[in-house]
Amino acid sequence: MNIFIVRHGETEWNRIGLVQGRADNPLNENGILACKQLQTLFDQKEFQALIMSPLRRTIHTGLILTENAIVEDYRLDPRIIEKDFGISDGKPIEERHLNYPNGHAPGEESYKLVRKRMITAFKSYVKRYDKDILVISHGAAIAALMKEVSPEFDRTFVRLKNNSLTVLDGKTLEVKAFDLIGDEAAQWMKDNYK
């Protein structure tokens, strides 16, 4: 069993470099196009579940990616929603880093809490599912999960690309692939997923 994790496609706020957090922005044209390109990797693949954060950008990404896949169950899981960046939402990313270098803007959710809810969600998936699942989430949320499941990520800044593919072992949560896009993702799927 594999847990396939995809960061949602690009939104306009991603494109112009604004902190997005919990803002419920839709995919932009580039995001939709990139999802359609990634979708070919999942054509005719079987998933026991498609699990998405309840924000529009993840739902739209998930539905595009599984258009030609076989999905038994569709779920929205609020535990895998993006980190709440508090008053930084909607502001330039550089401004957030300048004003809050320690990462603690007023109203901002702690990374400790994000890590806890993400690992709790993924441990529940390990217990519930015995076949491949596809999870659509967000950059900071997936980065928090990576820091929880693998010590190598805990020592580095993790920033995932839009529409990137990360794969975890469905029983151990061991990282099999991380932040792959385009040809790298296609090659990994060809070599590892039958």
The CATH number of the domain where 139 resides is what? 3.40.50.1240
What's the pTM value of the predicted model, to 2 decimals? 0.96
Number of domains in the chain: 1
User: Residue 120 annotated as binding?
Assistant: no
Q: Which residue among the candidates 82, 108, 109, 148 is catalytic per the annotation?
A: 82
pLDDT digits (tens, 9 = 90+) for 113-144: 999 999 999 999 999 999 999 999 999 999 99
188 in helix, strand or coil? helix
User: Residue 188 annotated as binding?
Assistant: no
Q: Please give the residue range of the domain that contains residue 30.
A: 2-192
Q: Which residue among the candidates 8, 60, 108, 148 is catalytic per the annotation?
A: 8
DSSP for 70-105 reads: EES-EEE-GGGSPPPBGGGTTSBHHHHHHH-TTS--
Q: Is the pLDDT of residue 61 over 80?
A: yes
User: Residue 115 annotated as binding?
Assistant: no
DSSP H or E run through 12: helix 12-16
Q: Is 94 a catalytic residue?
A: no
User: Residue 7 annotated as binding?
Assistant: yes
DSSP 8-state symbol, 68:
T
| Burial environment of residue 120 by CB neighbours within 10 A (0 to 12, 13 to 18, 19 or more) | exposed
Determine the pLDDT at residue 194: 65
Q: Is 109 a catalytic residue?
A: no
Q: Is the pLDDT of residue 157 over 80?
A: no
User: Residue 11 annotated as binding?
Assistant: yes
Determine the pLDDT at residue 154: 74
d(CA 62, CA 53): 10
DSSP for 32-67 reads: HHHHHHHHGGGTT-EESEEEE-SSHHHHHHHHHHTT
